[in-house]
Structure 1
Amino acid sequence: MAVLALLVTVILIATAVARNTASEARQAPSFSVYSCPGPASRLYLPDSPHDNYFYSDCHSSVHVVVTSPRLDSDLKIVKPRLLVAWPAGNSGALALFAPETGQEGTLGVRLENSTDSGNSLDPLNESTRVGVSGAINFNDTARLTVPILGSIRAIRDFTEGGNTNQDFQGNFGFRLNADGGATINRTWLDGVTTTWLTFTPLNGAQAVVLNRGATWTLSFGSGTYGFDASFNYPQLDQLGPSDVLTKDASGLISQNPDQTTSLSFLSYTDKLLAGTWRFLTYFGRDSMISMLLMQPILSEDAIEAVIGAVLERVNRADGTVCHEEILGDYATWLNRKEGITSSKPRCDYKMIDTDFLLPIAMERYFVGTQPGKQHSKAFFAKTATFLAENDGFNYMQLAELTSEKIMRIATPFAKSQAKENLIHLKDGEQVGEWRDSNQGLGGGRTPYNVNTALVPAGLRAIAALSRAGFFTDHSDWAVLADSYAQIWEDETLRFFQITVPQSKAKSLVQSYASSLSVPSNTGSIDADVTYYGLALDGAVGGPVVPVMNTDDCFRHFFLNTTNQTQLSAYLGQTADHILKPFPVGLSSDVGLFVANPAYSGNTSFATGFSHGDYHGTVVWSWQLAMMGAGLSRQLGRCTSDDVPDFCKDTTLHSKILSAYNRLWDLIEANRAQLSHEVWSWRYDNGYKVVQLGEITSTESNVRQLWSLTFLAVHREDFGSS
């Protein structure tokens, strides 16, 4: 027995770990073990087939997902797993399980409450690492087939594509422990950081078995096993619910504990994170849109964390705003691929929409609010520290670089209103704005929302900032940027307009509805159908990508346009798409679909916008919020000093108000989904909600930052239509 005990404690290394790869020779951090002054934050969110557990205290934050297939689950997509996601380093641990018998669908997993604390999760705080512990139950014998330890990006790649680069898979350590348990560890590519995952049998469960095959795996009996997941990476400083909200909005903490706890989980002193678990890091577009929609309730600390994070990551070479930061293990890997021995963070600069949001966010806060005005000088004097490339640059210099870029690329169209002078995707890129899946723009290269809304809104903001004393080297921007904005507002919509004759529209919709086996609703087509396509220069359907969409919300939310004929017509067609049911319009029982390809007349093309596509005939929460906020802004103009013509047109105003109320009826009917990133549907005597992850490998984040904006966006009382 002594020999056996000795053997089971021997560390078995699968592959040697490359050491000291980081040129900065970073040392592993030490962690405090003192007791936190306040209670831990806990949240449980069931989202079948996933159970989500959140834990935060003064030491660390973590999101644990336990997935157990249901009887109706697609077993090619939904598999038993334990997933641990940490905001720090955008890092995590995945343990993918399979039934030992090999009979797919028979293995169920769940967390059990601790017999000591009564909690589902408890903290693991040591001087050398932090983490979380819990107890996982298997209803039958199980095998851990795939571990991924280190990067959420690597886990995301695996779940969406079925594999991950072997650089993340070839350096595991396996250890059998004297208590019958087992530990898997992996040292990251930096040679310093390590992630550990330990399982220990509880309540008489059998010892863990190590299977030494071509790929080593662990076997478990039926029963309960304790698990510890930990790592030794520097942690973030979280903003509590009372820190992320204004004092006036503090009542939301008791009124909406789920959403405010979720908002806190995604909020830190130096950045806000996009969503969990898949996007547990900085995304510039997401954080600024969230800030703009939630600005009335966000604290000064939260708003300045958003804008500061964006400025820190501006590309000093040309002023481009960072789309997504790349940290930790994934950053080391990408650096290594370029021959750089370093773990320094990186940024993705391929998006074309995010630049324009920066001056808008700056103007709304630093010009539009008293706290912003008071903090402006000290804020913009800060020196950037996140990217080594920006050393020595202060926030004002970086903000000016982005504004110079916007003025530079907006000038050609302002001088000559030709299609080639609009803003296009970058060469070699298939994506560039929020519809950033490969099919999201239907192959288009010139996005509708960027050109008709974000460019003019960004220019308006630059003009306002200039008038407020910003950009002193460009005093002419106070007038010039406004003049450019007027041209972009008035002259861009015509490039994206599509009008389908009534008879043809009925035929196209009937054919499309038949292909989906859903009602056509063609009786609601009482005139020609007008809408604005997703983009220009697509492969199908002429010069404009023929997909009706919800991106009208950008123009409604960001601009108060003044061309009265155009404004009235534009609001009228938006109202039609909300009032008319899919596939004639965008409205369904589960919300507004962000895309409707019914008018394309091309079956093959339309399949790229299916109910299983990330930007297909699905519902995105934040688009509902921005549409609600945008229409509220436009209807609110009817009580301003300069009343638009549509307000005086009784019939048109009534239609817009009816659309606004219809939208809010749909929002309120889908309250249970609103904090999700995106959801889909099935048709069964009506449209029924189905989570996207049930029908495709692309999961919806259970909590997404910009899907929490309904904390601030509310139905306004504009009277009845």
Structure 2
Amino acid sequence: MATILVLWCLLAASVGCTLAADCPASRLHLTEAPYQNYFLSDCITSSHVIVTSPDANTNNSNAKPRLLVAWPAGNSGAAAYFEAENNETLGLHLESSTTDGEVLETVNEPAPDGAKNENARVGVKGLIRFNTPALLTLPILGSIRSIRDYSEGGGILSPDVQNAVVTEKFGSDGGQFYRTWFDGVTTTWIDFTPASGAEAVQIITGDKWKLRFGTGTYAFRATFNYPQSDQLSASEVLNNASQGLVKESVELITSLSFLSYSNKLLAGSWRFLTYFGRDSMLSALLMQNILSQGEGGALEAIIGAVIERINNTDGTVCHEENLGDYASFLARQKGIDSSAPACDYKMVDTDFLLPVLMRDYFINTDTGRSRAAPFLTKKATFLEENAGVAYCELAQRTAEKIMNTTAPFVSSHVASNLIHLKDGESVGEWRDSGSGLGGGRIPYDVNTALVPAGLRAIATLSQAGIFPDHPEWADTADKYAQVWEDETLRFFEVSVSQSDAQQLVEQYVSDAALAGPPNTDQITGNITFYSLALGGVNNKPVRVMNTDDCFRHFLLNTTDQDQLSLFLDQTADHILQNFPVGLSTDVGLFVANPAYAGDKSISDQFKNSDYHGTVVWSWQLAMMAAGLGRQLARCDADGAPDFCNTDLRSKARDAYKALWDKIDKNRAQLSGEVWSWEYNNGYQPVPLSAFSTTESDIIQLWSLTFLAVHEEDV
């Protein structure tokens, strides 16, 4: 589905500066129709340029002609939306430069003497061609969040943002838009001038000023003057043993480098070009065997970014940072004049990942053990409220929160004491779209996997002296973990009789008007799975089959033998049985299958147009593969589980191999965030944006984990 072209080069020159020969620039071109994605990174700045050009073959009514530039620095960007002047179909594309043959070049202009903002004006320039006269009808300048809210939020535009956009002539025959951010010093510009004999750019005045272009080619520049981040190069993001990937997997390592910086790793581009705690930690756990360690390495960048953003009051780990123009925007809504970064703390899953990652690095690696003391004594600087607080203190706040919130269930074993979404929030874990949990309040993945994994890690960290104020955790956290491992699955278990399962699947196929086969011949007994969440409609379990089994397989080595065997058996069934009986299709495992919900109002929330519906997420494939590999590898270690001596081991191996067959078949999609499907003599991969206003990120951090996750001989 994605056509990939990767070019590595050295930039000889750019506007305003000459790059040294030891400063390589990386270029990447990824196609997912109707989106053309161009990446350019060098020692000056990093830019992601997306050209959207729908045509008669575009199966996407939401796509609009557009030029979008996204910058990791400040999670910022510039978007220009176009319309054909007449009723023709507007096509636009980038052209190669006549000087160096490249599609994009870096812009770097020093700040004028005496300027209020002393940062250089940097960005990207190129050539864009229109096949028919066009109007630039809408510029959005500043935060990526503003652009995302418009594209996915039904055209939401903030008057405070848009009213600050200035339109003016640029030179003798060009035009530009610019906007000064809410901080009063940073500015984003986008300008256009005719090239190759094209007509002059015209400014059309009115309530909303527009720029008019004739048929032909125009030079564009998108720039801003925000402080730049220190990007990790392809070699810097990898450990010594993995340097071969720089040449073996050029496009994937280029993507990983684009998202990697000395102080954090970013979730994805273009829509999530900033820190997300869950994304970065899950990525680190899956890729820890290839990421660079030690001071200045990728693993410490991830852990440090998480600890820096912990809520010092209650220990909650930050889900998403707000910085740059969007931070100022949110502050203004509260009546505060500030551009200081802030955090979103609404998630309930992210806390439990931090101790797991800390244990895996500071306890389980030689480098981590040597770095624990100097790293954890560092003082926080990112958030004003955390300034001067040692990393070890902040990490301990999170561990204290985990111990406090998990204790009630240990003493009671009742569902009401499981981890719930926060009051007033409809989301709280990775399925964080409005319908991702089907209205549930007690998420399966958090309670049955993340909580006990976090507790196990706290015990190990305490045993190593990481939390000297709480030596008792060495024993107590392990006891807590055992209870959560053994006693939580039963609340989520769903068992459907063979006859009921056949009827439910047939009714679902009819209700959803599925084109594919019902596959009910694969129902040869009861169907067992674990509900997506508890506390759904009428306070019932959300009976949606799902891939979140992968968390438990990957994060835990459980010891209740009967429970482990039953759990592994039903996971293998879901992989071996085809949708809508199981989760398996030619395009991968669906992260949700609502066929057994028995409620159309539930199943309607999990369609192939829904962000967490009957769609495929790359990282869930990776974690499922890694998790099953870990469980099967236990059979070759001391104290092998009981299933290793039964037919279940063979069945699990079959499921593991079947999963890898599907992964291999979908290599073209794996670096992207999520994909959907259409049925045409089988399931065919289709971009989610074909059915939704959501554009899947063309590169996503946790979708790059197949760099490290491989099929094992188990």
TM-score, L = length of structure 1: 0.94
Q: Tell me the distance in 2 between the aligned counterparts of 1:599 and 1:70.
A: 39
Question: Contact (CA 8 Å) 2:643, 2:649: kept in 1 or not?
Answer: yes
- 2:268 aligns with one of 271, 275, 286: 275
Q: Deviations over 1:65-112 (max 9, x none)?
A: 001003132564011100000000000000011111144xx1001000
Q: 1:503 — aligned with what?
A: 499
Q: Tell me the distance in 1 between the aligned counterparts of 2:56 and 2:568.
A: 46
Q: 1:554 — aligned with what?
A: 551
Q: Tell me the distance in 2 between the aligned counterparts of 1:166 and 1:610.
A: 34
1:520 partner letter: P
Note the 1:187-586 alignment, pairs <5 A. Answer: 187-300=180-293, 301-514=297-510, 515-539=513-537, 543-586=540-583
Q: 1:28 — aligned with what?
A: none
Which runs of no fewer than 5 residues in structure 2 stay unpaired? 1-14, 112-120
Note the 1:92-111 alignment, pairs <5 A. Answer: 92-103=77-88, 106-111=89-94
TM-aligned CA deviation for residue 141 of structure 1: 0.7
Note the 1:26-65 alignment, pairs <5 A. Answer: 33=17, 35-36=19-20, 37-65=22-50
Q: Deviations over 1:458-500 (max 9, x none)?
A: 0000000001111111000000000000000000000000001
Q: Tell me the distance in 1 between the aligned counterparts of 2:598 and 2:204.
A: 55
**What is the SS of the residue equivalent to 2:596?**
helix
**What is the SS of the residue equivalent to 2:54?**
coil
TM-aligned CA deviation for residue 260 of structure 1: 0.2
Question: Contact (CA 8 Å) 1:497, 1:532: kept in 2 or not?
Answer: yes
Question: Contact (CA 8 Å) 1:80, 1:107: kept in 2 or not?
Answer: yes
Q: 2:137 — aligned with what?
A: 145
Note the 1:4-43 alignment, pairs <5 A. Answer: 33=17, 35-36=19-20, 37-43=22-28
**What is the SS of the residue equivalent to 2:230?**
coil
**What is the SS of the residue equivalent to 1:475?**
coil
1:360 partner letter: V
Q: 1:711 — aligned with what?
A: 707
Question: Contact (CA 8 Å) 1:111, 1:137: kept in 2 or not?
Answer: yes
Q: Tell me the distance in 2 between the aligned counterparts of 1:142 and 1:459.
A: 59
**What is the SS of the residue equivalent to 2:537?**
coil
Q: Tell me the distance in 2 between the aligned counterparts of 1:58 and 1:239.
A: 10
TM-aligned CA deviation for residue 163 of structure 1: 2.0
Q: Tell me the distance in 2 between the aligned counterparts of 1:605 and 1:418.
A: 26
Q: Tell me the distance in 1 between the aligned counterparts of 2:427 and 2:24.
A: 43
1:50 partner letter: Y
Q: Deviations over 1:173-219 (max 9, x none)?
A: 11213331111111111110000101010011101111111111111
2:198 partner letter: A
Residues 1:127 and 2:119 are matched in the alignment: no
Q: Deviations over 1:377-433 (max 9, x none)?
A: 100010000000001211000000000000000000011100111000000000000
**What is the SS of the residue equivalent to 2:562?**
helix
Q: 2:590 — aligned with what?
A: 593
Q: Tell me the distance in 1 between the aligned counterparts of 2:667 and 2:302.
A: 27
Q: Deviations over 1:131-184 (max 9, x none)?
A: 110000001111111100000000000000212211110011112133311111
1:670 partner letter: N
Q: 1:84 — aligned with what?
A: 69
1:538 partner letter: G
Once the two structures are overlaid, the 10-residue window that deviates more, 151-160 or 209-218, is 209-218
Question: Contact (CA 8 Å) 1:32, 1:59: kept in 2 or not?
Answer: no
Residues 1:632 and 2:629 are matched in the alignment: yes
Question: Contact (CA 8 Å) 2:60, 2:689: kept in 1 or not?
Answer: no
**What is the SS of the residue equivalent to 2:307?**
helix
TM-aligned CA deviation for residue 32 of structure 1: 8.9
- TM-align CA RMSD: 1.1
**What is the SS of the residue equivalent to 2:579?**
coil
Which runs of no fewer than 5 residues in structure 1 stay unpaired? 1-30
**What is the SS of the residue equivalent to 1:635?**
helix
Q: 1:675 — aligned with what?
A: 671
1:493 partner letter: L
Once the two structures are overlaid, the 10-residue window that deviates more, 680-689 or 506-515, is 506-515
Q: Tell me the distance in 2 between the aligned counterparts of 1:319 and 1:79.
A: 43
Q: 1:610 — aligned with what?
A: 607
2:186 partner letter: T
Q: Deviations over 1:27-77 (max 9, x none)?
A: xxxx99452432211111111111110001111101000010031325640
2:459 partner letter: A
1:209 partner letter: Q
Q: 1:116 — aligned with what?
A: 99
Q: Tell me the distance in 1 between the aligned counterparts of 2:464 and 2:536.
A: 41
Q: Tell me the distance in 2 between the aligned counterparts of 1:663 and 1:304.
A: 32
2:236 partner letter: D
Q: Deviations over 1:612-646 (max 9, x none)?
A: 00000000000000000000000000001111000
TM-aligned CA deviation for residue 536 of structure 1: 0.2
Question: Contact (CA 8 Å) 1:61, 1:265: kept in 2 or not?
Answer: yes
Q: 1:641 — aligned with what?
A: 638
Q: Deviations over 1:651-679 (max 9, x none)?
A: 11111100000000000000000000000
Question: Contact (CA 8 Å) 2:459, 2:477: kept in 1 or not?
Answer: yes
TM-aligned CA deviation for residue 249 of structure 1: 0.3
Residues 1:160 and 2:152 are matched in the alignment: yes
TM-aligned CA deviation for residue 604 of structure 1: 2.5
Once the two structures are overlaid, the 10-residue window that deviates more, 424-433 or 466-475, is 466-475
**What is the SS of the residue equivalent to 1:654?**
helix
**What is the SS of the residue equivalent to 1:320?**
coil
Q: Deviations over 1:300-347 (max 9, x none)?
A: 110000000000000000000000000111100101111111100010
**What is the SS of the residue equivalent to 1:609?**
coil
Question: Contact (CA 8 Å) 2:60, 2:691: kept in 1 or not?
Answer: no
Question: Contact (CA 8 Å) 1:496, 1:533: kept in 2 or not?
Answer: yes
Q: Tell me the distance in 2 between the aligned counterparts of 1:632 and 1:605.
A: 33
Question: Contact (CA 8 Å) 1:547, 1:596: kept in 2 or not?
Answer: yes
**What is the SS of the residue equivalent to 1:332?**
helix
Paired positions, count? 684
